[in-house]
Amino acid sequence: MKTDQSKYSDSPRRQINITTELPHQTEYTLALNGEYSHVAFDEVRAPLNKGQWISKIFKFENSIPLDVEIGTGNGTHFAHYAQKNPHRALVGLELKYKPLIQTIRRALNALCKNAAVARFHAFNIDELFSEGEIDNVFIHFPDPWTSPKKPKNRVVCKSNLEVLHRLQKPGAIIEFKTDSLEYFLWAMDEIRESSYKILFETQDLHNSPIKAENFETAFEKIFLREGIKINFVRLQKTV
Ligand SMILES: C[S@@+](CC[C@H](N)C(=O)[O-])C[C@H]1O[C@@H](n2cnc3c(N)ncnc32)[C@H](O)[C@@H]1O
């Protein structure tokens, strides 16, 4: 798989291993390319859906919105959102096999016909979707990469925001939640340099006016139990 590095020179392609070439297959890798292969795509099959997720995978009319969740974890938000929004499609990106399979299994158990997952690195998202193909994007508790040398691994950063801006439709939103105040403050600086409009931001989501509409993810529950405040921002592509 090759990507046009010149176009996105700030976010070079991140290499990940090829599932079918792993020396040891597990119940999760086998399920990805077996039982769930109609709605779960490995890093080789997923890009074949670029520009065609709605028509080819979900077999809906092209007019329904396509939302994306980055780093689904065990999929509690993913399945909840897909079930609550049957007239929107949802694609989840997850690198690790076990949470990937938990995510799609949870959605299928909830009888969702509008959900699919891809084992894909979020930094390569432009290989999965074409310009203007996606609507809302959810990024809940991505790894914070707090070591001083590691901000280049942070999903919410200026270069990834530029890519997402190209992929999203006008009016679409991004929601970003993190337990790490350090990451949040750093990300807010990156966001202010991007083309997105900030609709709402808080450093304490659970004492904010939008607490009632919030869905607590699995990691969020853990952080709340530890008394950690949740940082949240909602952005919109307006131009
Ligand atoms: C801290 S967990 C949060 C899971 C879930 N969103 C939640 O709130 O419970 C972060 C997840 O993102 C996944 N992840 C980390 N980096 C990623 C990347 N670059 N692309 C896709 N998934 C990634 C990890 O495998 C992990 O499951």
DSSP 214: P
Enumerate residues lining ligand 1, CB below 6 A. Answer: 70-73, 93-96, 99, 121-123, 140-143, 155, 217-220
Structural domain ending residue among the three candidates 101, 117, 135: 135
Task: Fill in the amino acid letter for 10.
Answer: D
Helices (H), the chain: 27-32, 76-84, 97-109, 158-167, 181-192, 218-225
Mutate which of 69, 141, 150 for ligand 1 pocket (most atoms within 8 A of beta carbon): 141
Per the rule left: phi > 0, alpha: psi between -120 and 50, beta: everything else, 171 is: left
Q: What total number of domains does the chain contain?
A: 2
* Residue where the block lists tokens 């530890």: 226
Q: Are residues 161 and 231 in the same domain?
A: yes
Same domain, 131 and 112: yes
Residue at 5 is within a domain: no
* Mean local confidence (pLDDT), 118-141: 98
Average pLDDT over residues 185-191: 97
Indicate if 172 and 108 belong to the same structural domain.
Answer: no
Same domain, 146 and 118: no
Q: What is the pLDDT of residues 46-67, one digit of tens each?
A: 999 999 999 999 987 668 999 9
Q: What is the model's pLDDT at position 10?
A: 52
Return the structure tokens found at 124. 């390569």
Domain range spanning residue 227? 139-239
At residue 217, the pLDDT reads 98
Identify the domain boundary among 135, 170, 190. Answer: 135
pLDDT per position as a tens digit, 148-167: 777 889 999 999 999 999 99
Residues 6+ apart with CB under 8 A from 172: 134, 135, 136, 137, 236, 237
Q: Is residue 45 part of a domain?
A: yes
pLDDT at residue 2 in the model: 40
Q: Both 91 and 149 in a single domain? A: no
pLDDT at 62: 63
